[in-house]
């Protein structure tokens, strides 16, 4: 115990050393003059700044080694401000280290624990009240209270059911399948490669089988953007290139970040931009993300043409469209 007290009263710090300025009036005076000198140098820097701002012509130049021909006005402004701030800082530090009080101060703390008599009082009061309420005697009430409190805790869990059924696999599939024609949206017309000029963009939806209705939620998953580039502009793997047709490439229009419609195409840069959080996708690189929060490219739909020359899907998307968390929906 006595060792513990000793360790707390002396936690191992080296013995306090007094500064020369604490014990020698000459050193103290010298330090005071040094601090004043730094502040005067700072003031001179500020005056240089003000003088050059008002009197040095903007068009004057001076030759400075390393920098070469340099604008005098800007050079003096920069140097003046730099000296001004630098010497204020040096002066303040020197002042604090040499002249400001250097006493070690102990911050008194009260003990967090309550005194023993207060703790005893508290325990006695709780026992007394519990006895008065008859908790010890009324075991029936004690048990039924436990049951009631336990069930109350379960109630919020039941409400989780209101979040609806899990989406299972339905978010992973769209109406795109092998041989499904691409229809213009709006217009619902099948589209040929020649309908799209280089640089053009079109939104398309899949042609649905008889009896299948187009719903808002199916459009939300099926919408696809067609973009036509020159074939030599692509920077794609051989496989991805085989998913394009004569420079036409198709991507899901649903942003892979949080599902907004990727609606802006910059023809010059060939970037697709999502307006919600500015994810930017590079079309020639299979919609690779080059900026923004999205973590994966827009899914690419493999396309080709049917025997009549209309654009069709080669196969379904090979990954879920939309936000990345859909992948974990099952």
Quick one: 183 or 273, whose CB is closer to ligand FES?
Answer: 273
Distance separating alpha carbons of residues 15 and 13, to the nearest angstrom: 6
Which tokens hold the place of 210?
Answer: 């008889």
Distance separating alpha carbons of residues 85 and 83, to the nearest angstrom: 6
Binding-site member from 78, 231, 247, 292 for ligand FES (CB under 6 A): 292
- Residue 214 CB, nearest distance to ligand FES (Å)? 23
User: Residue holding tokens 């307006």?
Assistant: 275
Binding-site member from 294, 298, 304, 311 for ligand FES (CB under 6 A): 294
Distance separating alpha carbons of residues 207 and 312, to the nearest angstrom: 9
Quick one: 84 or 280, whose CB is closer to ligand FES?
Answer: 280
**Under a CB-based contact definition with an 8 Å cutoff, are residues 221 and 206 in contact?**
no
Quick one: 182 or 224, whose CB is closer to ligand FES?
Answer: 224
Our finding on whether 274 is near ligand FES (CB under 6 A) is: yes
Quick one: 226 or 298, whose CB is closer to ligand FES?
Answer: 298
- Residue 268 CB, nearest distance to ligand FES (Å)? 21
Distance separating alpha carbons of residues 251 and 206, to the nearest angstrom: 13
**Under a CB-based contact definition with an 8 Å cutoff, are residues 287 and 265 in contact?**
no
Binding-site member from 83, 257, 283, 322 for ligand FES (CB under 6 A): 257
- Residue 256 CB, nearest distance to ligand FES (Å)? 8
User: Residue holding tokens 């069930």?
Assistant: 151
Distance separating alpha carbons of residues 102 and 256, to the nearest angstrom: 60
Quick one: 123 or 216, whose CB is closer to ligand FES?
Answer: 216
Q: Is the CA virtual torsion 198, 200, 205, 209 positive or negative?
A: negative
Our finding on whether 220 is near ligand FES (CB under 6 A) is: no
Q: Which range touches ligand FES (CB under 6 A), out of 43-51, 164-172, 270-278, 297-305?
A: 270-278
Beta strands in 162-219 (DSSP E): 182-184, 201-206
Binding-site member from 137, 138, 192, 277 for ligand FES (CB under 6 A): 277
Quick one: 109 or 328, whose CB is closer to ligand FES?
Answer: 328
Distance separating alpha carbons of residues 326 and 167, to the nearest angstrom: 9
Residues that bind ligand FES (CB under 6 A): 255, 257-260, 274, 276-277, 279, 292-294
């Amino acid at each position: 115990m006595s060792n513990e007290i000793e360790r707390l009263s002396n936690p191992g710090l080296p013995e306090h050393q007094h500064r020369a300025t604490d014990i020698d009036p000459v050193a103290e005076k010298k330090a005071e003059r040094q601090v004043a000198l730094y502040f005067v140098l700072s003031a001179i820097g500020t005056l240089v700044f003000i003088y050059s701002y008002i009197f040095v012509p903007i068009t004057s130049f001076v030759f400075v080694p390393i920098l070469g021909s340099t604008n005098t006005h800007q050079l003096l402004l920069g140097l003046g401000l730099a000296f001004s701030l630098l010497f204020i800082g040096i002066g303040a530090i020197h002042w604090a280290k040499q002249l400001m009080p250097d006493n070690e101060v102990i911050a008194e703390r009260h003990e967090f624990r309550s005194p023993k008599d207060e703790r005893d009082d508290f325990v006695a009061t709780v026992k007394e009240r519990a006895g008065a309420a008859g908790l010890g005697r009324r075991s029936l009430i004690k048990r039924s209270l436990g049951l009631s409190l336990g069930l109350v805790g379960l109630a919020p869990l039941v409400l989780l059911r209101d979040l609806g059924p899990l989406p299972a696999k339905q978010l992973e599939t769209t109406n795109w399948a092998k041989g499904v024609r691409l229809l213009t949206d709006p217009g619902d017309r099948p589209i040929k490669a020649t309908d799209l000029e280089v640089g053009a963009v079109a939104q398309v939806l899949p042609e649905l089988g008889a009896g299948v209705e187009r719903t808002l939620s199916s459009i939300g998953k099926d919408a696809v953007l067609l973009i036509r580039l020159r074939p030599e502009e692509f920077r794609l793997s051989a496989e991805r290139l085989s998913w394009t047709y004569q420079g036409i490439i198709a991507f899901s229009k649903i942003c892979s970040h949080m599902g907004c419609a990727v609606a802006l195409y910059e023809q010059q840069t060939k970037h697709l931009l999502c307006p919600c959080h500015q994810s930017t996708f590079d079309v020639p690189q299979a919609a690779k993300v080059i900026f923004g929060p999205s973590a994966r490219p827009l899914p690419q739909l493999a396309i080709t043409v049917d025997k009549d020359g209309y654009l069709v899907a080669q196969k379904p998307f090979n990954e879920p469209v939309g936000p990345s968390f859909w992948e974990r929906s099952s």
